[in-house]
Amino acid sequence: MSPHPPLPTAGEVHVWKLKQEGGEKTRLSPAEVERMERYRFANDRHRYCATQSHKRTILSRYLGERPEDLSFTENQQGKPALPGLEFSISHTAGLSLLAVTTRNPVGIDIERIQIPEDLDSLAERIASKAEWTHFLSLSNEDKSNLFFQLWTAKEAFVKALGTGFEMEPHELQTELPSLASISHLGKNRHLLHPFNAIPGYVAHLASKEAFTKVTSFDFSD
């Protein structure tokens, strides 16, 4: 990766695939180090250090700064921000994704496909009435696929809004069957873009404006 990668163009989003290993503790802020040390298990501390370090490294290269010099602000719900960049990060077993744009607030979510035994009850909790009716009409295989599609779409939407889960998942309605868009009680409509570049995982991007180009990268420090 070049020291200063070009910024995403208008309508473009960069998606970075990050392994949850490596990383430099010296790149973290004192608050991040304190949070890392609160994890009980060493593996969790290592994963946190890796993802925060890699996130700082990538974002700093866009801005031409040192990773440890980045100063994030947070909104009331704790969503971090940097001047000149919009970004969102998501973690699942063994992998993280970082989405970066220049002016279009973005949310991203990824989940590893592990079908829960109580799939139906979980789906009923997160689905809107229309989604639940559609879910019940599907085969077992299609049910599990829809569950992960809905979950990642709704998580990505909430991250794009930057509000945290102040709204109930069942209040969020996706456009069926395409899952092309999502809204909250008919408001704040966002467009959805699936990110299907990783076998065994489901991921979605959410934004108010359409992405005309999705460029993916594998991060190496």
- The C-alpha torsion from 142 through 144 and 112 to 204, rounded to 10°, is 60
Q: Which residue has the tokens 């801005």?
A: 63
Question: Which of the listed residues 73, 108, 143 is the one where a domain comes to its end?
Answer: 108
pLDDT digits (tens, 9 = 90+) for 111-129: 999 999 999 999 999 999 9
Per-residue pLDDT, 77 = 75
pLDDT digits (tens, 9 = 90+) for 147-170: 999 999 999 999 999 877 678 999
Q: Domain check: are 152 and 188 in the same one? A: yes
**Secondary structure letter of residue 154 according to DSSP:** H
pTM for this one? 0.93
Question: Which of the listed residues 63, 93, 108 is the one where a domain comes to its end?
Answer: 108
Q: Domain check: are 96 and 147 in the same one? A: no
Question: Which of the listed residues 65, 92, 108 is the one where a domain comes to its end?
Answer: 108
Per-residue pLDDT, 1 = 46
Is 2 contained in some domain?
no
User: With 60 as the cut, is the pLDDT of residue 54 above it?
Assistant: yes
Domain that holds residue 16: 12-108
User: With 80 as the cut, is the pLDDT of residue 38 above it?
Assistant: yes
User: With 60 as the cut, is the pLDDT of residue 47 above it?
Assistant: yes
Is 220 contained in some domain?
no
Q: Domain check: are 168 and 198 in the same one? A: yes
User: With 90 as the cut, is the pLDDT of residue 196 above it?
Assistant: no
Tell me the C-alpha distance between 103 and 8, whole Å: 9
Q: Domain check: are 121 and 102 in the same one? A: no
Per-residue pLDDT, 165 = 64
Q: Domain check: are 42 and 127 in the same one? A: no
CATH number at residue 51: 3.90.470.20
User: With 50 as the cut, is the pLDDT of residue 200 above it?
Assistant: yes
Domain count, the chain: 2
Is 218 contained in some domain?
no
Is 7 contained in some domain?
no
Tell me the C-alpha distance between 168 and 178, whole Å: 22
Per-residue pLDDT, 94 = 84
Is 80 contained in some domain?
yes
In three-state secondary structure terms, 98 is strand
